[in-house]
Amino acid sequence: MTGRTLAGFSIRPYERRDLESLYEICLRTGDSGGDATHLHDDPQALGHLYAAPYAALEPGLAFVLEAPDGSVCGYILGALDTREFHERFVREWLPQVQGRVPDPQGDPESWTPTERIYHRLHHARLHAPARLDEYPSHLHIDLLPVAQGKGQGRRLMERLLGELRTRGSPGVHLGVGEKNVRAYGFYRRLGFAELERAPGSAFLGLKLEGERHRPE
């Protein structure tokens, strides 16, 4: 359903016209949920990695949140099969981007935040929990401050999780930075369990087995 509910916010499927908004929201939430604009001299760097490839490669699992004024103020992006998505990311998405961003050289300790993202774009690796077979899907969700604390994140999650169930996914995972305490608590309240920890971050997972249905 795409009608405006809950104080005028609405969820709808991603459309091509939303791409610029995805880049902007990714940047404005890219510092552990806070605005990362001051950290990046390339405002599209984060979006090249965390947002745009999902819209390009798996648009059927991309949904945006519209504010009462019609602007896009949040999104949720998913991949049904993480391994397959990564293969397509490397084969289809990265060649489009690598020609536009340099591969940083020299001491990694001296790299800027943007250069660290550039390095990942040139040297992609699969970043996933060990129990990937149990939680093969993954997602990214980001909301601007205007939409936070109003139940919109839960609505977006319900929309995507319902779609993943419909497509037969047994489980979904996500990564959260250790500094993003608010997001960690949000996911745990939704039923996500911690799968494993890595330096500076953790993987959380949610089983999706059970009733298959489309969200209302």
Q: Alpha helices of 5-139 — where are they, by DSSP H?
A: 19-28, 45-50, 52-57, 82-88, 94-98, 113-122
Query: What pLDDT does 6 receive?
Result: 59
pLDDT over threshold 60, residue 214: no
pLDDT in tens, 23-32: 999 999 999 8
184, pLDDT greater than 60: yes
The span from the CA of 22 to the CA of 15, in Å, is 11
Task: State the average pLDDT over residues 116-123.
Answer: 98
169-190 b/e with 16+ CB inside 10 Å = b? bebbbbbbeeebeebbebbeee
* Beta-carbon count within 10 A of 28 CB: 20
The domains of the chain are located at: 10-207
Under the banding of pLDDT at 50, 70 and 90, the label for residue 7 is confident
CATH number of 10-207: 3.40.630.30
51 close to 140: Cβ distance less than 8 angstroms: yes
Contacts of 36 (CB under 8 A, 6+ apart): 27, 28, 29, 30, 46, 113
